[in-house]
Structure 1
């Protein structure tokens, strides 16, 4: 890379964009990947221990319901709190505290014998989980070059699937040998230890430092690690954003004239998308079993949804960096309707069913991960963490509704085809919301909206 004049003001994002993806940026993405994996593990953990809890404590499905939803409520609440805090005091500190927080309460959950206390501890665990995810997304986004931002964020977020899948594998081995509490202990001690690693290895967002703490000595040190050949003596740094935005509430900025429409459209997308994701994640094996599939085949077909989501995240992230991100996601959500219809009307053919479930995972879960990257690109540095976390918070409300809807629709006696086909409605609404953003911000690069 060419050297920079010592008297020149340096645009930090332009500097990152003009260089290659360095080992230091990879370190940031990897640490955030591990955070998301731990987040996925601790989010899914309650589902893996639920059968043992039900047996040991003699619980009914009705009693398990509040326990399973307590974490989701905490996730939503944590998202709403953590974002504005991170935009004020920094992404790193909120992320470290969030990981420490959900580790502590997962550990506490292992030592309770009360259903009410376990539900309360799951809520507190959810607060930490809800704070960790948006800040990991934000940090990864702010260390990635614009040309690769979406694919870097989506690959990083695949840690969630890895973590939740690892939870199932560990639970299958640990619960028979050591009991269900051992899984909670693992979900407590590992994040607590990793929080210490983050404290020493994870840097603060350099964009945040330039915007909020322009005199910080850490800025040159970080930029020197990213672009070691750039001359920084006497240089000053900036990000191309309005200084007035720093003084405004990060929540108020969500509804600024240039962002308000996009905020509402993103909220609609996240709500509808996560409604589908959680309804399918929680109820797909049950729906297939009720449709007459053996348990083993039902589980295998349902697993294709997770595989599709992982592949979709990477492919769609790649496409978002090369084409218009709004059109990529809008088409993906629209295509999901075709796969939903295929599941609804052709579920007796196992080969077609596997392809269709993979397709829904690719288009819905993959697009949701892509929407995380879109939100991180859409908002400016001054309220990026708030924008991502509040979109996720609204999305978690959709997740809670989706989890409840599965049971309600089954209880109403609706058939397999009807329940699956109903998912076409939120998929269509998510596509409409993304296309509305495309219409509003047509011919604009996402980064110019955030600048």
Structure 2
């Protein structure tokens, strides 16, 4: 029950946070600022990996969960006090929630929403699948537990770098191109992991895999945010990432089934690589947005995906 309640919060934070950051960020830097914010996810992953390596034997998993509760008494009060409300949201005429969802399911918007949902599903599957099973997979490939957890740390460090660099490039070339390329590169790097290599070279590949996988998800969120109008942005993010969260459940489940069936690192990585290619196709096929009557609500220098 408590995991379910925590999931409600975890699922609701990204869409609202992304919508607000994209709203207040300066034109031409929206995707970069958004990625700086989203880098908190892999930074948290780095902290979790370090905490697991150093504290797990001492405090146990309950102690690590308690560490995760620290933001409840620190960041939440600070955010309530400091964060601004969206000026354009406050001044815009806001349709009812049902009307906003129906608008996402009409014509070209329906196609975009469906493709974004598939891409999000693939992105979440990769992020959660790799973060859940990478240590176990690397142990199965012959590494000890300490080395396997170190690979998880390297994966998340790469995630931070990939998200920031990918978003900076996206502000120049657009979310469609960058998200698609990152998905393709993620598939290629994961396939390279299947060949036996030295621990150092494997660490480099894991770093690049983290950069590509989480980088693609970070860029994809920004791509969704800049594709929709202000009044529908948070709803679109909620719908597409909500469906995508099914991938967060599927990734660990698929990895578990493959591990229990005796499929090793190569089989798991091949499945994850296939998911990355599906994500690439989905993000690349999203139809371009047409200009709409509400364009006056948006500065002219805002990017239109």
Normalising by the smaller structure, the TM-score range is: 0.7 to 0.9
- 2:103 alignment partner in structure 1: 253
Pick one of 19, 40, 44 that aligns with 1:159.
Answer: 40
Pick one of 131, 135, 140 that aligns with 1:281.
Answer: 131
Helix, strand or coil for the counterpart of 1:307?
helix
CA contact (8 A) 2:128 2:252 kept: yes
State the number of aligned residues.
296
Pick one of 293, 303, 308 that aligns with 2:158.
Answer: 308
Helix, strand or coil for the counterpart of 2:285?
helix
What is the CA–CA distance in structure 2 between the aligned matches of 1:280 and 1:314, rounded to whole Å? 20
What is the CA–CA distance in structure 2 between the aligned matches of 1:255 and 1:423, rounded to whole Å? 29
CA contact (8 A) 2:39 2:163 kept: yes
Check 1:254–1:365 CA distance in 2 against 1; reply closer, same or farther (3 A cut). same
CA contact (8 A) 2:53 2:146 kept: no
Question: 1:320 Cα shift?
Answer: 0.4
What is the CA–CA distance in structure 2 between the aligned matches of 1:354 and 1:309, rounded to whole Å? 13
Check 1:179–1:136 CA distance in 2 against 1; reply closer, same or farther (3 A cut). same
Question: 1:296 Cα shift?
Answer: 2.1
- 1:365 alignment partner in structure 2: 214
RMSD over aligned CA atoms reads 2.6
- Unaligned residue ranges in structure 1 (runs of 5+): 1-119, 214-244
Question: 1:191 Cα shift?
Answer: 1.2
CA contact (8 A) 1:141 1:376 kept: yes
Larger Rg: 1
State the TM-score, normalized to the length of structure 2: 0.87
- 2:85 alignment partner in structure 1: 204
Helix, strand or coil for the counterpart of 2:28?
helix
Structure number with greater CO (CA < 8 Å, separation at least 6) is 2
CA contact (8 A) 1:276 1:426 kept: yes
Question: 1:286 Cα shift?
Answer: 0.4
Alpha-carbon displacement from aligned partner over 1:410-447 (angstroms, at most 9, x marks no partner)? 1111132122122221111111111112xx32999984
- Unaligned residue ranges in structure 2 (runs of 5+): 292-300
Check 1:332–1:207 CA distance in 2 against 1; reply closer, same or farther (3 A cut). same
- 1:325 alignment partner in structure 2: 175
- 2:113 alignment partner in structure 1: 263
Question: 1:156 Cα shift?
Answer: 0.8
State the TM-score, normalized to the length of structure 1: 0.61
Check 1:307–1:198 CA distance in 2 against 1; reply closer, same or farther (3 A cut). closer
